[in-house]
Amino acid sequence: MSLLTSAIGLAKKAKHSLKDEIDRRAPVYLSPVRRIERVKTNERVCAMTFDDGPMNLPPSPDNHGGKPLTLVLIETLEKYGAKGTFDVIGDTSNNYPDKAGKHGSASWGGISYDHYPDIHKDNMGGARHCPGIISRILSGGHQITNHTYSHVLYGKKAVVYGSRKYMDSIDDVIADLARLDDLLRDDFGYKMTMTRPPHYVDNIKGGFSSYDACAAMDYQYMAASFDGAGWLPCKTYEQEVEAVWKPIESALKADPDALCGQIIFQKDGYNMARRTPIADGLEKALQVLAFYGYKVVTVEELMGYSPFEDLGADDGLFPAASLLLQSGYTVAYKNNKVLTENPLTLGELLMMLYGREGAAKRLSLMKGRDRLDLKGVKANHPYSGALAIALEKGVINTHADINREIDLSAFNDICRKVYGKTATISMPITHGKTIAALAELSEIKK
């Protein structure tokens, strides 16, 4: 294993181990697009995702009679009554000119672009070339999510992919997502609801991000909380297979409830050594999960247990938060947490009311297509679109500080303008109290 490869693996592990600290330090904003990594549930249920397929070539090494890798994964899942989430690409055959990088490195399949299942074998992978496998995924009740049509990076990732080409604009990113979305809808009658950016690169030229692209497509951002490490090469294939299931077993031995609500990352394709340990490791992983009483479901089904990371079905506020979310309100932060004790700011109240509509308005403001005097609030501010809509609707008539904690008078004034009445609420006004108040005011019922 190369030093660079080792560094990639260590960096990914460090990212997960430091997640709580990163969340604590980073500013967090309410968002209609949420990063779905795990959900809160006490039930032993989890999800498995498989990136970069479908693949119409047999596993390497082939211990499955020449069956395509993706079909092997489908049949293995179904043997254990499990459902998978396949994060598919469309077609990488236009990602040329290019040449392969060093075998075993991050650029194994191409220096300038990614190629799936491999460079010069693009016609053996992707939804465009594997319609039979896509149909088989869907007929088995599995989920498909949008890993982009061409798997071109959204923006620059200098440390690992310094030589990679990337998208020129937010419009190019949206068009690439839409191309695969159209393919699945037109050819298979299937509407995708989630996406995962290639290599988790979020930044896009012009100050945009993958969350802007998700909002434009009405997608949620599908991430993962547990790394199935078969994508990293080891000294032997047997070690790679063990890496698929051994971390799962270790986690559950330490705490049988450790994977409740978690999303496990796996790869539907070659690792950096052009081997596919997932083909032989998946069954063992499913056996371990079954031993501990876990049900493996799609990410969409997992979110049915709870759509939030920190609010579960047993929490008193859960019904109100869930119903508001289903009705188009923005009640969770970008990290998919509700954070009920957070003090409410003016910007957050406006975002709760106009988040979905505001996301489109913000994109238009950032592109310069809409002109509106926001009095010191920049167009790229997460709440700029919601603020603009509130101004246009006359819900607020001043350019007050959207970052200030809202007082009772201002809260009631906005509620009267939106609902024609006020709710029972007390100071200090928190996010949780606001959710309860908005559920009361909007009279949302099950």
Which of 231 and 6 is assigned the larger pLDDT?
A: 231
Q: For residue range 317-346, list pLDDT tens digits in order.
A: 999 999 999 999 999 999 999 999 999 999
End-to-end CA distance of the chain: 54
Tell me if 148 sits within 8 A of 166, measured CB to CB: no
Q: For residue range 123-166, list pLDDT tens digits in order.
A: 999 999 999 999 999 999 999 999 999 999 999 998 888 899 99
Domains annotated for the chain, with CATH where assigned, are 3-303 (3.20.20.370), 311-442 (no CATH)
Alpha helix segments (H runs only) across 194-339: 210-217, 237-254, 278-291, 299-305, 318-326
Cβ neighbours of 187 (radius 10 Å): 13
Considering the entire predicted model, what is its pTM? 0.94
| pLDDT bracket for residue 10 (50, 70, 90) | low
Least confident of 8-17, 63-72, 90-99: 8-17
Cα separation, 273 vs 232, in Å, equals 8
